Chain A
Amino acid sequence: MSLLVKIKNALLGSAELSTPTCNSADVLDICIKNKIHYSKIKFDGDHIRLSISLLCAKKLACELDKRGYAYNVKYGGLPILLGKYKKRWGLMAGAVIIFCIIYLSGSYVWDIRVSGNSSLTEAEVRAELALKGFSIGSKMGARDVDEIANSVLLTSEKIAWMSINYTGNVAYVQIREKEFPQTVDGANTPANIVASRDGVIEYLEVMRGSAVVKERQSVREGDLLISGISENKFGEYRTERALGKVYAVTNHHFSVKIPLNYDKKELSGSVCTQKTLKFFSFYINIFRKGGNLGSSCVKIEREDSLSLFGLPSLPVSIISEMTSEYQTVSAKLDEREASEIAFFELENMILAKLQDADLLKKTIKTEITDNEFLLECDIICSQNIAKSVPISEE
């Protein structure tokens, strides 16, 4: 029996009919007259066996019954197997659902992997793609990947090139980031070095140009420190880009005011928790505990992706949301708390403004009134006050 016939019999069902050999001629005659085609006929001892389709088996059995011949039929194939489980419809429904899920999920993006990024994070690249309608759960083939990449490049300020390729259901995104030129004016633009603030010069490091100030000289903001104009022995002037560092002792004053009375968010105790199953881009609420809350709420949301055996995450995640109701109440800071906040802010201000400076002296004065905590800080430090200013042609 050929392979195709075997497959056909398995799928559509088949029967094996056996009858005593003495009936063989009549059986063959019946088959010929009634056009009952068999795939195999074989003599097995004192019986003859025919392999026929289900429908033909019924026809042949009917004819044999009419003639009163003894026979035996064994049925097989997929229809018989399914018939055994016909009362267990849950199995069938489950199998159909699984096949549907496998078929449908093969049409959606399961994961997006980004490579080639250095300053941009993977989440930022995914966010850019999501703005153009491409994310986990998007239908594959709905839009051309080149069109998606081009639309991202048109609006992105940081991505210079993008390529999207599919391997199975995973989208591999390769990017190249834009490179920005570093200096505002060109490297060869003639420029002077002037003071960026008042100070007393400690020492100079002149790499190009001529210094016009000396150590221990007091300068004011804007004063010329290193000149980019030089004169040769013939009395001709030429300009160049002055380069160097000028370290000076400078004074800085910082002032921080912290109001003692403030509005505090106090949780009222009403909490609503909700868990949602995210499957591709579909959201299914699993449960929600807690009633309706007021308009003033704080929400904490967390998404946990599922993964198996350390493999990259699946497009299934659990989103946990905790919403807490709060009310605004007036509160007052005590001196210790206000002082902590003030000092914290002061440190941030110093870090922002004097990051490269060497601290020589710091004087702090605090004052507390009924309404605020005042912190004054005077800093003397040594810093580079050189600032490059282009020489105008005039």
Chain B
Amino acid sequence: MDNKDNCKKNGHRTFKEKLSEGLDIPADLLCGGCRVEIRGRGEAVVEGCRKVVTFSPDIIKLAMADFDIVIEGERLNCLSFCEGSLVIGGRINRFVYEERGE
């Protein structure tokens, strides 16, 4: 775990990332199991969500496996959900991947 954190800090790729790139395996299978689909500026489908950290009309923060996703915008709402997938609607201004603990 410390090695992994050190790798991330120094910008080096982790073993999983190297394996995924080397064997041409889709990144979401080995590295986090998260999949995001953004349709235009009004809808985003996020798969692999573990928990909702913050939910308000301006900011939605979702806890994924290794990191958090922060969606900032206006009139944000959770339109529907199913089996760990959420559909976020509203006007999306910013989409940020945040390391856990920041």
Contacts and interface: CB of A to CB of B under 8 A. Distances in A.
Nearest to B51: A29
A138 interface: no
A32 B47 CA distance: 13
A63 to B, nearest CB: 14
A323 interface: no
Contacts of A28: 52, 55, 78
Interface in B66-100: 77-78, 80-81, 84, 86
Interface of B: 49, 51-57, 61, 77-78, 80-81, 84, 86
B78 A41 contact: yes
Nearest to B58: A43
Contacts of B81: 31-32
B62 to A, nearest CB: 10
A21 interface: yes
Contacts of B86: 32
Size category, A interface: 10 to 19
Contacts of A43: 56-57
Contact of A25 (B54, B80, B84): B54
A24 B77 contact: no
B54 A41 contact: no
Interface of A: 21, 24-29, 31-32, 37, 41-43
| Shortest beta-carbon contacts, A-B, top 8 | A25-B55, A24-B55, A29-B52, A28-B52, A25-B52, A32-B81, A28-B55, A43-B57
Provide the main secondary structure of the chain B interface.
strand
Contacts of B51: 29
Contacts of A42: 77
Contacts of B57: 43
Given A25-B52, A43-B56, 16 more contacts: A21-B56, A25-B54, A25-B55, A25-B61, A26-B52, A27-B55, A28-B52, A28-B55, A31-B81, A32-B49, A32-B52, A32-B81, A32-B86, A41-B77, A41-B78, A43-B57
Contacts of B54: 25
B78 A25 contact: no
Nearest to B53: A25
Contacts of A26: 52
A42 B80 CA distance: 13
Nearest to B82: A35
Contacts of A21: 56
A27 B52 CA distance: 9
Contacts of B53: 25
A28 B87 CA distance: 12
Nearest to A29: B52
A31 B80 CA distance: 10
Contacts of B49: 32
